[in-house]
Amino acid sequence: MPDLPKDKVPRRWAGLRWLVILPVLLGVLTAAAELSGIDAPGPATVALWGAVMVTAVSMGLFELVKGARERRLELTGRSAEDSRRLAELRTHFQPRGQGVLPSWPRRGWYFTGRERVLRELTGWLAAAPGADHRARLVVGDPGSGKSAVLGRIVTLSDPALRPAVPLQVLAEAPPGTLPPVGCVRAAVNAQGKTPAQVATEIAAALELSAGTPAELAAALAERELEPAGIVVDAVDEALEPAKLVYELLEPLAAGAARTGVRLLVGTRPGTDRHLVRRFGNAAIELDLNNPDYSELGDLVTYVRRCLMAEDDPDVPSPYRDRPDLAATVAAAVASRAGQSFLVAQLTSLSLAGAERAVDVESPGWSDRFPATVSSAMDQYLDRFGAHRRRARDLLMPLAWAEGPGLADRTAWARMATALGTASYTEADVSWLLRDTLATDLLRRTALAGSAHHRLFHAALDEHLRSLIEDERDPRDIHASMAGTLVELAPSDWQEADHYTRHYLVTHAARGAVLDPLLRDPGFLVASDPGRLLQALDAARSPQNRAVLLALQRVSAQLLVRPAAERASYLEMAARKSGLAELADGIRALPADRPWSVAWAHWRRIADGRVLARHDGYVQGLAITRLRGRQVIVSAAARAVHAHDVQSGELVADLPGDWPSPIIRLAALPDGGRVATVHEDGSVLHWDLGTQARSGPGFATDPGGDDDSLKIFSLGGDARVMASMGADGTIRVRDLATGDLIAEPFRVKQAHSLLGGGLAGGRALVVVLMSDLAYVQVWDLRSHQPVGPAFAPYGTDVEEGREATGHALIIETDGRPVVFLSGRNWHPCLLWDPERNVPLGEPFEGHEIGSWTVDVIPWKRGRLFCTGGGDGTIRCFEWPAGGLAGQPLHAHDGAVDHVLFAELDGRPAIVSGGRDGLVRWWPLAADLFVAGQTGPYVHDLTVAEVAGLRLVIGREPDLAVLRSWDLATGEHVMDWPLGEADRVVHLAPLPRLAVGLRKGGLRVLDLETGSPLGSPQVSDTGEWTDLGLMEIRGRSTLAIAWSDGTLHLWDVVDERWWRPPLRCHTGPFFFTYGSVGGVAHAVTWADGEAAPLLWNVEDASRATELEACRHDRHDPVNSGYCLGSIGDRPVIVLTGGFSHVDVWNGETGRLDVSGTLHDGHAMALGRVRVARLVGRDCVLSGGYAGALAIWTPDGSIARIIEVGGPIWWIVPAGESRIVVSGLMGMMAIDLADDYFDRPELRVDLRL
């Protein structure tokens, strides 16, 4: 949004200004009165002054109170995040950087050694911008000191922690090991966290707004380029380590040169070093197991210092003041511990806490020291003597706990009873925490008002778990823990403790007991969304599979939206999926939702297996083989993932240092390699096995359009890439080498390239001509056309709108046959280019059109599979003809990619959609069956009929006018409509004006269903637009006629107002509203630079409107509206490429001309100006499926992601909005304080 002065005034000054503005204004008026001869104010003047002062004070106080509330909410959220971050710094990073256990009573600084790795990291972090930007991975075995190294860096660089470091520690630090203060801007312990949570914490520390890895990457790219150190520890202990790397960390590392990020990661390498390998060339590995980074002397010094405890005189130790003995024992302990600081630490703890020192004169004394974490832990537990079993049992639940660990002592005791060898109570837990040495093994975290405890190192968890895994199935253990949490949970899940709300879902999923919980709406709303979505695959029952499908539809919103709004999206998902009981349950909860969905009639998505999830549109699909496994490779704009078809396992993901967004993806012929084509024209080759570049790649030819870049086969597995330049020159290159396979040639009057293929030994391409009506096939080698041009849909094509967008060439009996996919509601068809005739009947079906096609042999012919802009997949048989089965409702939003695959000899379809999902559909006879669809309603309106408020709309496919109860959404009745293209409610009467397809008009009485007298405009021409406006208090039907005239019909008196108003010379469209209380109309026609504003009451041109600054508005897709924001009339235009124009209706000035970001990614269509819950605002929607609620000055900026194209928006009362589109229709209710919630604001930038 534009930065207007209002936005720059802080709320506190906005409040105070009213105390100044109104008195000053009245002072000016009083002065004027005095100058005109009035010597003394009269009673009226005094009363007026009093009213002004009361108004000023009250308005000022209102603004101040409101501003204080907003600042309090903002500061509360910020301070809570700051407190959480500081707590993590102090409980995870600082103790490790200090060289002590988190719960040690010691206050000294024991960190020792690791000088080389610290010097390298410090130099890297302190380097000037533009230096080596590759990430650093600190890796090593458990207990090797990874977290200690990262903790040291964070503690000495963080402005909140550095002041607490003793000056002596800083003075004694080896040269080159003190990082600059502030060089680390964000530090996150990833243990038990999802990628979205880690991304959110990094963003908060950097003061950016982001809730997902993709949003963080975008926010970093937009910030000023400056170094920003980011530390992420315990990556191998994250909820999904591999996913954390490929979704967040590797892209951060790969893009560091552009963003200034210096990423420091601590992790175990992972099985087969898979976590390290995922970073590819974007990171440098620092292995602490490497002798170059590890010296035995470091370990000896550390143990000696721990034994003597010289920096903690209050800590008892039998080695104090005995340096020679301490040195001897330290050398023996270090020798046994090898390179493990953890083993040395545990051993030192046991020895320092003993009553007597080790007798170094006794035989074999040094052999008794532990050499592994397990033996060190067992030796430590031996110190409990008779209570050893009791201590072990009480520690056992912590080894299986998630996140920060357990806080509820009752739950802790019950879990210990279930997993241990005796019965325990809260008193036993209190004993463990208060009266034993066990606290030295624990990390205590203050969170949500409670103290959480877990074992301080993952290696200790692993040791304790190993003690019972042979006897107890881990699934049973998690089920038992989940059962305990459920038993102790309050009736209101929102009141449950932090651990239950965040981690119960994980235990339930791992314990295979999630199904009952998914039927509880309170649980769904209260659960941590990231863990909920990650656990959904554990759903088993058919009913809960439906819940899974519903939540998948709003997964992105659940991760990024505020907690209160997540309940709104859960209710929306349930309504859209027909889960009325779940939706009603959510609605009945006491959750403070900013908006709700009262009802919905929406298309259901089929239950397909999800192979991959992307942030954003799927840009490409390919099938190849990797290490003998068949894999599906999918691409989004900045991500490429490969999944095993059989298991669904992620087997490869490519580093994300892309030169620009990906627009195409294809497999290369030798297996295990793919090519990515990018927005900047570069083509890169990748080896999926090494996840690295496999060659230099090449550049596409300049001057072309992305739509004219096609990849297809010319026989076998080889792929070629064809492009067309702006001058019509066609070039075809081998995708594997970049070599031209034929001489370039030019096709005159060509618009775009549609596709190609091999037939009869000839390499052919299909070209769409510049008139957008004709297509023609050309031979790549002879440079000659194959037959004449063909107009598949006739020559009457709407200007600027392609009738076809993709072509596939197959061979039949040695001859080429072309499959043409229709766009913009046109059907698909087959064409013989040599005979220049269509083959068989067109393949009807897709709304909007077909966006992709693939073909396989089928029975005695071919099976064509198409993906459409309506989110469906359709299969057509040829030559048998017709649709094979029913449309498959596969995605929310368009299906941009389909391809055939095979598993164990069984055919399947893989699809990629604009909802970011890649799905697998077995091609079985029972798959393509009729699904549940929502009403596709046009001309949505609200009318009162027989005392009932109805939502009324035209359903073209059924040729009926349908109505639903506005309050409940229940279907009420239908009226036969015939071939109509538009209906308009003639308020206040229960009548509709119906615009017939052949150009005529008629009026329908809604109460009787009978036709009434109709206005007769002309014997020639036809209507082009209809609307109802109010002129001088009279309801008036406005009719735009094809000859350029606007006709006005009094609805009540059934008469013409006046002769028609000449607006244009031909067909036009219009919208209407009030300017200064006078009825006006805005009219526009195709090709004109600006709309025209008319005063329809006196039939004159009103203010001249400034011309548009772009050519992106298509009259078929654009939406206009005229309304008022406050006391200012505005004209709003939306159109292609998310463009928005806003004019001042009084001055004609074009105040806003830009692209509406965040929520809209394609053409905008419908737009309305409305007053909702006391605020004037603009409502807009379009193909991308987001309802944007905004004002031109940016004071309101809200988004509700509906999840399907929005063609119609109808405000229906003070707080209700009804929207409809391809996927269905729903009613959204805004809460009374919807506009007063600062947390809902989004960055809607114009």
The per-residue pLDDT for range 677-706, each reduced to its tens digit, is: 998 889 999 999 888 888 888 988 766 666
Distance (Å, rounded) from C-alpha 1126 to C-alpha 1132? Answer: 15
Q: Which residues contact 543 (CB under 8 A, 6 or more apart)?
A: 519
Residue 222: phi, psi to the nearest 5?
-90, -15
**CA distance readout (Å), 1224 to 532, 540, 955:** 27, 28, 11
Residue 19, pLDDT above cutoff 70? no
Question: For 1140-1187, what is each residue's pLDDT tens digit?
Answer: 889 998 888 999 887 776 555 567 778 999 999 999 999 998 887 889
The mean pLDDT of 3-15, rounded to a whole number, is: 35
pLDDT at position 950: 94
Contact by Cβ (8 Å): 1094, 1045: no
Element (H, E) at 55: helix 43-88
Tell the burial category of 1069 from Cβ atoms under 10 Å away from its Cβ (0-12, 13-18, 19+). buried
Any idea how long the chain is? 1246
Average model confidence (pLDDT) across the chain: 84
Q: Name the pLDDT band for 180 (thresholds 50, 70, 90).
A: very high
Q: What is the dihedral of CA 925, 927, 931, 937, to 10 degrees?
A: -100
Q: Name the pLDDT band for 105 (thresholds 50, 70, 90).
A: low
Contact by Cβ (8 Å): 420, 432: no
pLDDT at position 1176: 95
Residue 240, pLDDT above cutoff 80? yes
- Calculate the CA 1208 to chain-centre distance: 24
pLDDT at position 79: 56
pLDDT at position 933: 67
3-state secondary structure at position 222: helix
Query: Which of 365-374, 842-851, 1226-1235 ranks highest by mean pLDDT?
Result: 1226-1235
Q: Which residues contact 297 (CB under 8 A, 6 or more apart)?
A: 113
Question: For 156-175, what is each residue's pLDDT tens digit?
Answer: 999 888 998 999 899 989 99
Supply 687's token pair. Answer: 């080896």
pLDDT at position 882: 75
Strand partners, 662: 678
The one-letter code for the residue type at 368 is R
Strands (E), 424-530: 442-447, 450-455
pLDDT at position 42: 56
Contact by Cβ (8 Å): 180, 157: yes
Question: For 842-859, what is each residue's pLDDT tens digit?
Answer: 887 777 777 788 888 877
pLDDT at position 798: 64
Supply 1057's token pair. Answer: 């107002």
Residue 8, pLDDT above cutoff 70? no
pLDDT at position 64: 38
Q: Name the pLDDT band for 1077 (thresholds 50, 70, 90).
A: confident
Question: For 574-619, what is each residue's pLDDT tens digit?
Answer: 999 999 999 999 999 988 899 999 999 998 888 888 888 887 789 9
Higher-pLDDT residue of 818, 847: 818
Q: Name the pLDDT band for 69 (thresholds 50, 70, 90).
A: very low
Distance (Å, rounded) from C-alpha 46 to C-alpha 32? Answer: 15
b/e per residue 288-316 (b: at least 16 CB within 10 A): beeeebbeeebbbbbbbbbbbbbebeebe
Query: Which of 7-11, 196-200, 1183-1187 ranks highest by mean pLDDT?
Result: 196-200
State if pTM tops 0.75: yes
Distance (Å, rounded) from C-alpha 223 to C-alpha 221? Answer: 6
pLDDT at position 7: 35
Higher-pLDDT residue of 707, 136: 136
Query: Which of 96-105, 398-407, 928-937 is predicted least confidently?
Result: 928-937
pLDDT at position 931: 56
Q: Name the pLDDT band for 104 (thresholds 50, 70, 90).
A: low
Element (H, E) at 939: strand 938-945
Residue 478, pLDDT above cutoff 90? yes
The mean pLDDT of 1111-1128, rounded to a whole number, is: 72
Residue 897, pLDDT above cutoff 70? yes
Tell the burial category of 135 from Cβ atoms under 10 Å away from its Cβ (0-12, 13-18, 19+). buried
> What is the distance in angstroms between the CA of the first residue and the CA of the last residue of the chain?
4
Query: Which of 471-485, 898-912, 914-928 is predicted least confidently?
Result: 914-928
Q: Name the pLDDT band for 656 (thresholds 50, 70, 90).
A: low
pLDDT at position 340: 86
Question: For 911-953, what is each residue's pLDDT tens digit?
Answer: 998 888 899 998 875 555 555 667 788 888 999 898 899 999 8
pLDDT at position 1039: 93
Q: Which residues contact 572 (CB under 8 A, 6 or more apart)?
A: 554, 597, 600, 1202, 1203, 1226
Distance (Å, rounded) from C-alpha 267 to C-alpha 501? Answer: 27
pLDDT at position 564: 81
Contact by Cβ (8 Å): 214, 616: yes
Supply 852's token pair. Answer: 């992709």
Nearest to 241 by CA among 249, 230, 251: 249
Distance (Å, rounded) from C-alpha 578 to C-alpha 1136? Answer: 33
3-state secondary structure at position 661: coil
Residue 68, pLDDT above cutoff 60? no
The mean pLDDT of 513-536, rounded to a whole number, is: 89
Tell the burial category of 201 from Cβ atoms under 10 Å away from its Cβ (0-12, 13-18, 19+). buried
Higher-pLDDT residue of 72, 1158: 1158
Strand partners, 224: none
Nearest to 863 by CA among 913, 895, 907, 804: 907
Distance (Å, rounded) from C-alpha 382 to C-alpha 350? Answer: 9
